[in-house]
Structure 1
Amino acid sequence: MATVTLWSDAEAEADPRVKAVFDDIRATRRSEFINNFWRGLANQPAVLERTWASLKQVMAADGALDPLTKELIYIAVSTANGCSYCIHSHTAAARAKGMTDAQHGELLAVIGMAAETNALVTAMQLPVDREFEA
């Protein structure tokens, strides 16, 4: 159960700041769907504006990483952080960007392997090899 009110479309229409962000989300994503993350953030219009602007810059802008790769990274980080909502949201986004079942399975294998080896290295407190230092 949410700890904040999830804004309806009617409530969003009544607040110019929220309406502007929701309209931009719809235009950027070419979809009428506004998910619960944005509806919850609407309670704080300044946070909504800032978060959408940052996310749009990182995830929607053209860059060195293709859109699917960005979503795969987002899934991995969300898994490491234990964010079920983000795992579901970005898995759906990755599928919409062409992620196959085989890619998803391989991603999960990489996430699992990284979690295992990270835990082992952390437990052993191994020093970083000089060759790996940037």
Structure 2
Amino acid sequence: MSLSEEKLIGKLAMLSVLDETYTSHVDVLGWQQCIGKVGSMESNKVVAAIETAAKKNEIINGSVYRETHALYHAIMEALHGVTRGQVQLGTVLRTVGLKFSIVRGTPYEKEAEGEWIAVALYGTIGAPVKGLEHEAIGLGINHI
């Protein structure tokens, strides 16, 4: 069970969220991807925006529990990175402005390893006052 060097799903998700020219690399692999933006003082709204984008762009089938569940865990893992382990926003006077990338594909050489999903987040987090934020990045990967 080894990862293919040109199929690093997390790396492609991160590069795509930072520079949209990398989306063509995902297309070449025949994988699914979408990119979007979300800003909120509530973490549940961040999760909802990413889930909605994944369903709308047919990255996941919303009526299949394992797909929604895998996406949820990838989102939460990415949010842990952005929020430094404390997935709280408005309740502790923090807000985020994020760009996200969702990538679904088969990163392993063995077909039996199945599909995986990666969520990359990049943007700002800070006090809800313009100019009092800093950059943050997060990545979550989960099997489907």
TM-score normalised per structure 2: 0.28
| Structure with greater strand share of residues | 2
| Structure with greater helix share of residues | 1
TM-score normalised per structure 1: 0.30
User: Which structure has the larger Rg over C-alpha atoms?
Assistant: 1
